[in-house]
């Protein structure tokens, strides 16, 4: 006995996007059985993490060739404590290094100048030595 399998058009494999995959540091998505072309979803970072500025948590069911596929998010979840202050911390770190280098350089120049000045005074004859030289010559 032969049976003909029939499927409704909405369940044809090329008419629905594949199952959703997990994305790094995100909460599980509340998913349905199937998603149609042009439907979209948003990933959400797990507690304690936030979306990094400039990245997107949006994915969309798109037709690529004959097959529906999910677009990839650019989402990067970062720890809340590093979120807003990371750039400031980097600049503060760089600034601290520059200030340290400048202070060391200024200190070095001052020490060099002081040593030169002390040598000049040490080599200069005292008034008594000048008197003795005048007497001798």
- In this predicted structure, what is the pLDDT of residue 6? 43
pTM of the model: 0.50
Place of tokens 């003795």: 132
Cα(39)–Cα(10) distance, integer angstroms: 14
Q: Give the separation between CA 28 and CA 62, rounded to whole angstroms.
A: 21
Identify the pLDDT of residue 115: 77
Name 76's Cβ contacts closer than 8 Å, sequence gap at least 6: 24, 51, 52, 55
Predicted confidence pLDDT, tens digits, the chain (137 residues)? 554 444 444 445 568 999 888 899 999 887 788 899 999 999 999 999 999 999 999 999 999 999 999 999 999 999 988 755 444 545 556 666 776 677 777 777 777 777 777 666 656 666 676 666 666 55
d(CA 128, CA 38): 100
Give CA angle at 14 (10, 18), nearest 5°: 95
> Which H, E and C letters describe 68-101, residue by residue?
EEECCCCCCEEEHHHHCCHHHHHHHHHHHHHHHH
């Amino acid at each position: 006995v032969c049976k003909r399998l029939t499927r409704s058009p909405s369940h044809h494999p090329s008419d629905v996007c594949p199952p959703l995959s997990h994305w790094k540091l995100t909460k599980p998505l509340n998913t349905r059985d199937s998603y149609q072309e042009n439907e979209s979803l948003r990933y959400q970072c797990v507690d304690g993490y936030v979306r990094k500025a400039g990245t997107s948590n949006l994915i969309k069911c798109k037709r690529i060739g004959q097959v529906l596929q999910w677009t990839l998010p650019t989402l990067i979840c970062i720890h809340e404590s590093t979120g807003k202050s990371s750039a400031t911390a980097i600049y503060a770190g760089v600034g601290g290094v520059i200030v340290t280098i400048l202070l060391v350089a200024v200190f070095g120049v001052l020490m060099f100048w002081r040593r030169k000045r002390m040598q000049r005074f040490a080599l200069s004859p005292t008034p008594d030595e000048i008197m003795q030289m005048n007497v001798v010559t």
